[in-house]
């Protein structure tokens, strides 16, 4: 592991413990810049900056050098504080109307951090029963929220994003936690069919928030990370969420049930690797989390996953080559699930099947005969992105995709004997 990643993980662990690093070794200005760039890639700049700015090494580089990073960190904290306040007002409004969506990830996980608003959230995820969507949609509009994508078929979509003019609030209203039509992970919804009946309440700034029971929520955090892993990857922030959740609620989590569910989706080694990363580099405590021997007996090398997620950034979006590599990994997983014995072809990278294309071009659900038009639009867009230079080209995407397929084989997600070319 290189110096920057070592520093990054040390600072992150200190932040999770509400502590400061005690670095007194020489750190060059370029290394500080790379550290903070890594933090921004993973959307945790306030956490990293707060953990390092008091150390002797930071004092040597000077306040004037650190000022731009401090300013960005403070701005992100301010925005997140505003988002949280705006969301809590909305949630109370919905409660007064008799609507209590289940909150997942975001606001629930932030409460586990020593400084909740240092852990930013791009949006807040609400889960409601599908039959409640129309009622909730009406009340959101009444509150002043608007559907972000005016071209979206909100009746058929499994999630609908909403925003509000003049407000930082942004929510995604889910009818299902995962797109049911997805061949790669649509089946994950089967594990969350009774979460509304098993809902629990937690307090956030004295507001009662409904959420899933501890076991279901923990498994959802795993599935959500796993979903992004099957695309182009995910960042360290999701590992932090999982680690802090396990430490806080481990006594309430049915670990054996989680293991059985993970085995069903071939994610037991993946999850073990996440928790090993948490134990070796962050704050995961197997004893505190009541982590059973059935899990500890699983053998896996976590270093390859750590390298993948550090390089991937938040949701594997560190660069466009990486994002485009998801075409390869998703198709490989879909072929695995269908028992497809054919090799994965590069042709399919450029011309994915209609189910995949529908997620990018919603009009295909209504007009499937326009698939060739969507293919052309996709290729033109990709060409423009590639032509802009930077870290984005087809060769790199294929290289990254093939490397990540090997990682999936190593973790038992894809048959190790299969070839995908």
Q: Which pLDDT belongs to residue 402?
A: 77
Q: Which pLDDT belongs to residue 183?
A: 84
Mean pLDDT in residue range 61-73: 95
Q: Which pLDDT belongs to residue 372?
A: 80
* CA 243 vs CA 34, 233, 257, 275: distances in Å: 25, 18, 18, 7
Q: Which of 37-51, 143-157, 202-216, 380-394 has the lowest mean pLDDT?
A: 380-394
- Classify burial at 285, counting beta carbons within 10 Å of its beta carbon; exposed 0-12, middle 13-18, buried 19 or more: middle
Q: Which of 46-60, 68-82, 373-387 has the lowest mean pLDDT?
A: 373-387
Mean pLDDT in residue range 140-161: 93
* Short-list 248, 274, 255, CA closest to 109: 248
| pLDDT greater than 70 at residue 8 | yes
| pLDDT greater than 70 at residue 148 | yes
Q: Which of 138-142, 162-166, 284-288, 416-420 has the lowest mean pLDDT?
A: 416-420
Mean pLDDT in residue range 239-244: 97
Mean pLDDT in residue range 396-406: 77
Mean pLDDT in residue range 79-84: 96
Q: pTM here?
A: 0.86
What does the pLDDT look like over 131-143, one tens digit per residue?
Answer: 999 999 999 999 9
- Give the residue, 265 or 382, on which the prediction is more confident: 265
The band of 349, judged by pLDDT with boundaries at 50, 70 and 90, is low
* Short-list 175, 406, 295, CA closest to 286: 295
- Give the residue, 235 or 337, on which the prediction is more confident: 235
**C-alpha–C-alpha distance, residues 401 and 395, integer Å:** 10
Alpha-helical segments (H) within 130-267: 133-143, 214-230, 236-249, 255-264
| pLDDT greater than 50 at residue 342 | no
Q: Which pLDDT belongs to residue 379?
A: 61
| pLDDT greater than 90 at residue 421 | no
Q: Which pLDDT belongs to residue 357?
A: 72
**C-alpha–C-alpha distance, residues 255 and 252, integer Å:** 9
Q: Which pLDDT belongs to residue 325?
A: 65
Handedness of CA 266, 269, 272, 277 (dihedral sign): negative
| pLDDT greater than 50 at residue 345 | no
The band of 200, judged by pLDDT with boundaries at 50, 70 and 90, is very high
Q: Which of 111-125, 145-159, 202-216, 318-332 has the lowest mean pLDDT?
A: 318-332
Q: Which pLDDT belongs to residue 319?
A: 54
Q: Computed over its alpha carbons, how large is the radius of gyration of the chain? A: 22
For 203, the 3-state DSSP assignment is strand
> Any idea what DSSP says for residue 146?
E
- Give the residue, 15 or 181, on which the prediction is more confident: 15
Mean pLDDT in residue range 180-199: 93
| pLDDT greater than 70 at residue 93 | yes
| pLDDT greater than 60 at residue 27 | yes
* Short-list 74, 170, 77, 71, CA closest to 116: 77
* CA 151 vs CA 146, 155, 359: distances in Å: 12, 12, 13
Mean pLDDT, rounded, of the chain: 88
Q: Which pLDDT belongs to residue 381?
A: 64
| pLDDT greater than 90 at residue 370 | no
What are the strands, taking DSSP E only, across 25-129? 102-104, 124-127
């Amino acid at each position: 592991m290189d110096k920057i990643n070592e520093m990054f993980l040390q600072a992150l662990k200190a932040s999770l413990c509400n502590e400061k690093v005690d670095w007194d070794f020489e750190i060059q200005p370029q290394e500080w810049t790379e550290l903070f760039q890594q933090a921004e890639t993973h959307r945790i700049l306030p956490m990293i900056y707060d953990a390092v700015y008091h150390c002797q090494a930071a004092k040597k580089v000077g306040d004037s050098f650190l000022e731009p990073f401090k300013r960005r960190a403070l701005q992100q904290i301010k925005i997140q504080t505003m988002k949280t306040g705006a969301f809590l007002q909305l949630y109370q409004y919905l409660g007064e109307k008799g609507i209590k969506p289940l909150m997942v990830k975001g606001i629930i996980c932030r409460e586990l951090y020593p400084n909740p608003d240092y852990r930013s959230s791009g949006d807040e995820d609400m889960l409601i029963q599908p039959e409640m969507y129309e009622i909730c949609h009406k009340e959101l509009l009444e509150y002043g929220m608007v559907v972000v994508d005016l071209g979206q078929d909100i009746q058929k979509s499994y999630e609908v994003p909403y925003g509000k003019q003049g407000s930082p609030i942004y929510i995604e209203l889910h009818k299902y936690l995962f797109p049911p039509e997805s061949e790669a992970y649509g089946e994950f919804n089967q594990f969350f069919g009774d979460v509304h009946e098993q809902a629990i309440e937690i307090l956030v700034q004295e507001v009662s928030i409904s959420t899933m029971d501890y076991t279901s929520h923990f498994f959802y955090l795993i599935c959500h990370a796993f979903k992004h892993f099957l695309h182009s990857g995910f960042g360290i922030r999701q590992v932090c969420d999982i680690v802090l959740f396990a430490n806080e609620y481990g006594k309430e989590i049915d670990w054996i049930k989680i293991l059985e569910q993970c085995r069903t989706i071939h994610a037991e080694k993946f999850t073990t690797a996440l928790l090993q990363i948490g134990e070796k580099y962050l704050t995961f405590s197997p004893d505190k989390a009541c982590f059973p021997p059935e899990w500890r007996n699983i053998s896996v090398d976590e270093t390859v996953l750590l390298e993948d997620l550090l390089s991937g950034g938040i949701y594997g979006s560190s660069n466009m080559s990486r994002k485009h590599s998801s075409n390869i990994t998703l198709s490989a997983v879909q072929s695995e699930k269908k028992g497809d014995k054919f090799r994965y072809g590069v042709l399919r990278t450029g011309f994915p099947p209609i189910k995949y294309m529908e997620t990018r071009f919603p009009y295909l659900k209504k007009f499937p005969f326009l698939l060739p038009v969507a293919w052309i639009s996709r290729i033109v867009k990709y060409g423009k992105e590639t032509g802009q230079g930077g870290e984005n080209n087809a060769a790199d995407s294929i290289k990254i995709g093939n490397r990540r397929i090997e990682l999936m084989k190593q973790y038992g997600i894809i048959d190790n004997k299969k070839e995908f070319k």
